[in-house]
A and B are shown apart, each in its own frame.
Chain A
Amino acid sequence: MSADTRARRQLHLAAHFPGVGNTTVRADRKSGSRIDFASFEHLARTAERGLFDFFLLAEGLRPREHQGRIHDLDAVGRPDSITVLNALAAVTDRLGLAATVDATFNEPFELARRLATLDHLSEGRAAWNVVTSSDAFTGENFRRGGFLDRADRYTRADEFVLLARELWDSWTPDGVSRPFAHHGRHFDIAGEFTVPRSPQGHPVVIQAGDSAEGREFAAAAADVVLTRHGTLEAGRAFCADVKGRLAAYDRDPGDLRIMPGVTFVLGDTAAEARERAAEIRRRQISPRNAIVALEQVWGVDLSSYDPDGPLPDIDPEPESGPARGRVGVADPFAVAEEWRALSRERGLSIRQTVVEASGRQSFVGTPESVAAEMDAFVTAGAADGFVLVPHPAPGGLDEFVDRVVPLLQERGVFRTEYTGTTLRSHLGLPDPVWKG
């Protein structure tokens, strides 16, 4: 076995502190505060105990609203991600620290400086997950307001990342600061950057790349791509597509890591794992959550409906759009019809239908089968690794680290110790070439 161990494709693992959405089972005992530093510290230490590549924090810029009011079923509160990661640098030694930060309501000089500072203070473990927003809803909290047309989200983000790299390159590797000047469509700035070149040269750049625009942006600018998890075939097609775009930017397939976001449920037997998975889905969709999920499709107030009763026979009114600050349902009529059919065929109530229609966990099974499935995905070229979203946060990752990581190590597809100190070294990414 040790002979082919060397040839096995290594997988990469990251942990994501769950943010918005219904992933966290709030009633679970292992589900702690979303704000106390102790919660972040626990999850980060667990990830480092499991030798994970990095820990990813989400971002919020305005609490979501539903029917014109704060959406209190959702995880609406969260601390500033870069600040939390700086504190986590004090309680971890090797774990990569990735902050999700919006490129629409931040400025390149300031954000590049914050990220370079994090890279210095963590001795080379910083990453930036670039996201974009364009809605006027979020803009109401900022000087700019809703300034950016939806179509310009990526052009601004593109130029933003490019400019951040110019700033990170503005100090020579031997510590001499040189003035920069950038005159572009979105930014016209000049001066001197205040932070010397950081340990990684450039913090790792992460990008969620499902859309065609996102894929192109990732191929041009990202070190890691986050994506939805699907079938093995879909994963292979996605990887082939994104990595196929790299050559146009003079990059090699090895310069980019593709990591789907996944959930997992473990059990001592396959049947036990399936039962637990079903139970988790039931608990994730409370009666009120079921009605809210319905309202997000129908676009109207359905609070008078009984969660244990039948689905509404009225048609959706998508134009009224009750949910603000989140992505809408693409084709509400189709979804409504699909849900009605599901309810009819199997005699399901509103809540049962939403539970049934909600996404299945990505990996459900015994530790052995989950390790084998993950390995198979990576071996087949359907992913380079996974971003795990534990159900109860912060306690839900321990089980994976204790039971699945050792099996991945036995299979020879996951590190048994950190061999480098920087996140780039964990990910096996080349150091960026300094462009003076």
Chain B
Amino acid sequence: MPRPNGSRLLHLAAAVDQEAGFDAASHIGSARLAERGGLDFVTLGDSFARPGPEALAVLARVAPATTRVGLVPTVTTTHTEPFHVQAALATLDWVSRGRAGWRIDVSTTEGEARLFGRRHALPADALWHEAGQVADVAARLWDSWEDGAEMRDEPTGRFGDRDRLHRVDFEGDTFSVRGPSIVPRPPQGHPVRVVDATDRHARRTAARYADVALIRATDPAQAGAVRDLLHAAAVGHGRNPDELRVLAALTVDLGAGERVAEPGWGSALFARERELGGGGGNGPRGPLYRGGPVDLAELIAAWHGTGAVDGFHLTPVEPSRDLERLVNGTVVLLQHRGLFRTFYPGSTLREHLGLARPANRYAETGGAS
């Protein structure tokens, strides 16, 4: 079936946050459901400000129980050591065999600062500037081991090839890291970096460092305008805009059955953050879309047909109900229409997203495998 917008594939992702989700089984169930639908990735929010487990741990627990779906936990950069952040994400990529992503977020409240007792809360622009530097140093540390630097050299008994290990000597405004990392370069080279680009400070960080940007809009024209801004900013940072996937973030309420009389936007256009046990990003989740699974499929097909976005990140209002309707209703319809994959042709998250494995900045050969 011809795609209206040429070669652009549709990308779909879903949030799997749930209330009081401290056991593994419920998370595994959601991730497997998403995987059955062929979704590019699932996200799991995290915050020090409300009850919830460590999201990266949950998705590491999920990894061996799934085989293809991308696993994208929120990891905040304000209070966690940049060195620990990158090591944990590289390890998630190793245990999932190349399916790790990182939803970058910041901790804005004084309450969170008090949990650490090391610094006071800072304004959003300072926090996102720092988050950008953490994203930067993380990629450098992932590159600090060239591919294949882990070796078992029988004649010499060497473990690693030290000529292929590199210090990063990073001097940020609020931290410095010598390097190299302790974790060899992960399977994807760099785990996929995801930034919610709604906040204007976050948008700058997204344009510079994100592989996937989440945006908010209620019609394709609005979405396309935001994407153009992001692409222009990415070009300003010397990036190829084709290396940035832009997904529209929608909160979806599919409680209305197959179709409703009048599908459309929720009365509270930008839904307030729900108090989910698993946490979630800071700030608004909206826009809220209400309708049946068929209506949502039509909306996705229509938006994607205009070429305004590369896909959607969908947050179910009622996790136990809406994710199932999304996968067994909306996704199946999109597959029937030839708009969405029916199986995973690749095995890594980068492959699902059509993103190349990045070259290693320290390797003379370029380092791509």
Contact = CB atoms under 8 A, between A and B. Distances in A.
B54 A69 contact: no
Contact of A141 (B24, B53, B179): B179
The A interface, classified by DSSP as helix, strand, loop or mixed, is loop
- Interface-centre pick from A41, A80, A177, A195 (highest chain B CB count, 10 A): A80
B58 interface: yes
B61 A190 contact: no
Interface in B250-300: none
A345 B236 CA distance: 72
Interface string A67-111: 001111111111110111011011100000000000001110110
B184 A195 contact: no
Nearest to A105: B81
A27 B48 contact: no
Interface in A33-61: 33-37, 41, 60-61
A75 B158 CA distance: 8
Interface of A: 26-27, 31, 33-37, 41, 60-63, 69-80, 82-84, 86-87, 89-91, 105-107, 109-110, 113-114, 116-118, 120-121, 123, 140-143, 177, 187-191, 194-196, 286, 288-289
15 contacts: A26-B157, A60-B182, A80-B84, A90-B62, A117-B58, A121-B23, A121-B24, A121-B58, A141-B177, A142-B177, A143-B82, A190-B115, A196-B51, A288-B158, A289-B157
Nearest to A283: B157
B83 A141 contact: yes
B150 A33 contact: yes
Interface string B71-89: 0000000011111100110
A107 B118 CA distance: 10
B343 interface: no
Given A91-B64, A114-B57, A195-B22, A77 B145 contact: yes
Interface of B: 22-24, 47-48, 50-54, 56-58, 60-65, 79-84, 87-88, 90-92, 94-97, 111-112, 114-118, 145, 149-150, 152-154, 156-162, 165, 174-180, 182-184
Contacts, number: 193
A37 B97 contact: yes
B114 to A, nearest CB: 5
B205 to A, nearest CB: 19
Given A142-B81, A187-B117, A189-B115, A79 B91 contact: yes
B184 A77 contact: yes
Contact of B57 (A70, A118, A196): A118
Given A77-B184, A189-B116, A83 B162 contact: no
Contacts of B24: 89-90, 121, 123
B58 A194 contact: no
A60 B159 CA distance: 15
Contact of A69 (B115, B162, B184): B162
B60 A61 contact: no
Contacts of B90: 79-80
A177 B61 contact: no
Nearest to A116: B53
Contact of A110 (B63, B79, B176): B79
B57 A117 contact: yes
> Top 7 A-B pairs ranked by shortest CB distance?
A286-B157, A140-B178, A70-B162, A86-B60, A87-B95, A90-B64, A79-B91
Nearest to A22: B157
Contact of A143 (B81, B91, B161): B81
A83 B22 contact: no
A110 B76 CA distance: 11
A137 to B, nearest CB: 9
A138 to B, nearest CB: 10
Given A72-B159, A73-B157, A110 B184 contact: no
Given A60-B182, A61-B83, A105-B81, A194 B52 contact: yes
Chain A CB within 10 Å, residue with most, of B92, B94, B149: B94
